[in-house]
Amino acid sequence: MSDNGWVTAIRCDVESIGTRLLVRVTGELSVSSTSQVRLALMKCLVEQPDAVVLDLAGLAVGEAAAASVFLAVSRQAAVWPGTPLLVAAPAPDLARIFDRGYTRLAVFDSVDAALAAEPGPRLPAISDMMLPASGAPRRARDVVTEACLRWALPQLIDRASVIAGELVTNAVVHARTMLSLRLTLSRRHLLLAVRDGSAEVPLLPAAASTDPAAPRGLLLVDALSVRWGSQPTHDGKVVWATLPRS
């Protein structure tokens, strides 16, 4: 709220505190501003901190339906990258929205309480940096094989290797920047993510496309994974995919 009593435009300010990210969301949230909030939160999630803490003390909700953006982001975070969202100091009506329905958010009375909350067990993860070279896809498949054997998931080696190889190939061919492969093991899924320095959004080509430059590897990723998608970062993007553990 501004000094003259008018509600300010929506604003998301991010601060790194230890291994967590604090996001102060202020202003008036409406349906039209939910995309701005979602983008800001997803950019935080791609950094894969221990948790993202939402300080909502300065947030007014102009339209009740707009509050669903936090529930939607929480559901996405549960699929990938597995980072919890912790809500601090919401208004009472907003807290009630968070406490009902299929998705419930962890709500704390203050930012300090959310930051001090005991973190859950850190998800097992393996990362590898790669040059945009012809050998990168093979290296990605080797990393996946090593991870699946280490985590006693030999049944996922074939599918996960294909997905990782195609995501890395796509980054080598189209981004042509340094890239990283990260595998994370959640309670239900194996999460694969490739980060590169290009902001170009990968698009799923039509199956019947005759364009030789079309990234057909994404058709394999789409067919083999439970879900996949991409998120922009401050210096490029992350393309991710998930596989069920069983």
- Beta 227-233 vs 236-244: how paired, if at all? antiparallel
Question: Do 125-244 and 11-116 have the same topology in CATH?
Answer: no
pLDDT digits (tens, 9 = 90+) for 122-180: 789 999 999 999 999 999 999 999 999 999 999 999 999 999 999 999 999 999 999 99
Map out the domains of the chain as residue ranges: 11-116, 125-244
pLDDT score of 104 more than 90: no
State how far Cα 97 lies from the chain centre.
23
Query: In which band, very low, low, confident or very high, does the pLDDT at 209 lie, cut at 50, 70 and 90?
Result: low
Query: In which band, very low, low, confident or very high, does the pLDDT at 6 lie, cut at 50, 70 and 90?
Result: very low
Domain formed by 11-116, architecture: 2-Layer Sandwich (3.30)
> Considering only 29-33, 40-44, 55-59, 60-64, which range has the smallest mean pLDDT?
60-64
pLDDT at residue number 221: 96
Class of domain 125-244: alpha beta
* DSSP E strand boundaries for the chain: 11-17, 20-29, 51-55, 59-61, 85-88, 106-108, 125-130, 179-185, 189-196, 227-233, 236-244
